[in-house]
Amino acid sequence: MLMVFAITIPHLELLQGLPGGEITTFVILLAILAILFDAVLVIALKILGFIVGKTKTTLDDRLLKVLGSYLPAISLVTALWGSLEAVYPDMVVFGNYKEFDIYITVMLGIVGLLLSSIANSVLIWYGLEMRTDKKHVHDNEVFPFVRNVVRIAIILIFLVFILQRLGFETSAIITGLGVGGIAVALALQDTLGNFFGGVHILVDKPFREGDYIKLESGIEGTVKQIGWRTTRLETIAQNEVVVPNSKLAGSTLENYSSPHDLSGVTYTVGVDYKEDIDAVEKIITDALHRVAKQNQLMDEQSIWVRFDSFGDYSLNFKFGYLVKGYVNRFSPLKAVNRELFYSFKKQKINVPFPVRVIYNRPEPRK
């Protein structure tokens, strides 16, 4: 493809009169344009750096850093093209391409690499910013597989553009890439499902790192890490459970953590039918308050007690309170059970065993 594009520089003939003629003119013009473009870019980067320094997010800092790493190459290629167009306006490369065609082709390659680096930086920023604990996490540990896939995809797209620009037939390549993309998507559907499940968790925030959650499968524990493929939980027994994000995103779960780090717990105790309901309720309430005064994990103001139901063999009372962190519920419970046991024993409150009454009726005589 032949494209006509000319650059006119005033007093160019004065430079061409120097020893060496066109070659000297080309070198001098290349140096001047390279220095000029570089100076403009340095000023522009300083201004942009001042602007992004005022923002709270680190995304613009990352993007500016990526842009700054590619601008020198863009500046040099542009200066080279401008010098060639000014000194050798009729030059044809490879028998069919003008300098401008080669310039656009090279720029497409640079822009493709630039966009792939921008996408890489955005994914790294996203992975780091959405973590509650950003310590000891390196950039290369954030979405490594997905970042590589995205970068390769962008580079392949621009490679097709470059081949089209050079006049090659690309329909077969596009078809092959489409079929290959579908095959890759099918082969990696679990991996991609886990990735987008992780994105859903990070965006919707049903829980955060440090929260105590319980899944519908019965698994419960503290969220230690939300990764791009899996989420890791630490159970009470300090075992690590690894859950795929795709399953976690589609699961019904209960989050026991709250913004105030207080979680409610509820328990049930049964007493004999012969006991006085009001007296038992007061005994339970007093026992809970005594424990709360000695246990800092228990919120005394949140204590409640109520007569709940008539059981098969007992009168059932429910009681509850707030604890500082759901994982800390066992320490107050131990003290509460101990206090209730000795209070019931002191007040002679009977906690019945399961009882079944069987009536034997004599068979009627024939």
Predicted confidence (pLDDT) per residue in 335-351, tens digit:
999 999 999 999 999 98
Q: How far apart are CA 323 and CA 314, in angstroms?
A: 28
Q: Say if residues 226 and 131 touch (Cβ distance below 8 Å).
A: yes
pLDDT of residue 191: 65
Q: How far apart are CA 324 and CA 66, in angstroms?
A: 45
Q: Quick one: which of 261, 225, 248 has its CA closest to 130?
A: 225
Q: Which range is least confidently modeled, 11-20, 258-267, 342-351?
A: 11-20
pLDDT of residue 345: 92
Structure tokens at 40: 């403009």
Q: Is the dihedral of CA 340, 343, 347, 353 positive or negative?
A: positive
pLDDT of residue 1: 41
CATH class of the domain comprising 207-255: mainly beta
Q: What is the value of pTM for the model shown?
A: 0.50
pLDDT of residue 55: 80
Instruction: Catalogue the long-range contacts made by 339-344 (C-beta closer than 8 Å, 24 or more residues apart).
Output: 339/287, 339/288, 339/290, 339/291, 340/269, 340/283, 340/284, 340/287, 343/283, 343/284, 343/286, 343/287, 344/271, 344/283
Task: Tell me the three state secondary structure of residue 138.
Answer: coil
Structure tokens at 288: 């809970």
In this structure, which amino acid lies at residue 321?
Answer: Y
Helix or strand run (H / E) with residue 178: helix 171-187
Structure tokens at 97: 């391409």
Q: How far apart are CA 84 and CA 98, in angstroms?
A: 10
Q: Say if residues 212 and 327 touch (Cβ distance below 8 Å).
A: yes
**pLDDT over threshold 80, residue 190:** no
Residue for token pair 């005022």: 54
pLDDT of residue 54: 80
Domain boundaries, the chain: 12-187, 207-255, 262-346
Size of the chain in residues? 366
Q: pLDDT digits over 31-52, tens only?
A: 888 888 888 888 888 888 888 7
Q: Say if residues 224 and 209 touch (Cβ distance below 8 Å).
A: yes
Q: How far apart are CA 153 and CA 2, in angstroms?
A: 29
Q: Residue 366 — pLDDT band, cuts 50, 70, 90?
A: low
CATH label, 262-346, candidates 3.40.190.290, 3.40.1190.10, 3.20.20.70, 3.30.70.100: 3.30.70.100
pLDDT of residue 11: 55
**pLDDT over threshold 70, residue 315:** yes
Residue for token pair 């032949």: 2
C-alpha dist (Å) from residue 230 to 80, 141, 245: 49, 13, 5
**pLDDT over threshold 70, residue 16:** no
In this structure, which amino acid lies at residue 82?
Answer: G
Q: Residue 139 — pLDDT band, cuts 50, 70, 90?
A: low
Q: Which range is least confidently modeled, 73-77, 235-239, 319-323, 352-356?
A: 352-356
CB-hemisphere CA count at 13 Å for 131?
22
Q: Pick 170 or 50 by higher pLDDT.
A: 50
**Mean pLDDT over residues 319-326, rounded?**
87
Neighbours of 110 (CB within 10 A): 15
pLDDT of residue 17: 56
Q: Pick 164 or 91 by higher pLDDT.
A: 164
Q: What is the DSSP string of 230-244?
A: EEEEE-TTS-EEEEE
Q: Quick one: which of 192, 165, 161, 166 has its CA closest to 177?
A: 161
Helix or strand run (H / E) with residue 225: strand 220-226
pLDDT of residue 3: 43
**Mean pLDDT over residues 125-150, rounded?**
66
What are the phi and psi torsion angles at 76 (to 5°)?
-65, -45
Q: Quick one: which of 113, 140, 116 has its CA closest to 127?
A: 140
pLDDT of residue 342: 94
Q: Residue 2 — pLDDT band, cuts 50, 70, 90?
A: very low
Neighbours of 285 (CB within 10 A): 14
Q: Say if residues 291 and 336 touch (Cβ distance below 8 Å).
A: yes
pLDDT of residue 307: 94
Q: Say if residues 98 and 90 touch (Cβ distance below 8 Å).
A: no
Neighbours of 96 (CB within 10 A): 11
Structure tokens at 80: 């080279």
**Mean pLDDT over residues 129-157, rounded?**
69
Q: How far apart are CA 142 and CA 140, in angstroms?
A: 6
Residue for token pair 């792939």: 116
Mean pLDDT (the chain) is: 80
pLDDT of residue 205: 76
Structure tokens at 297: 């994990």
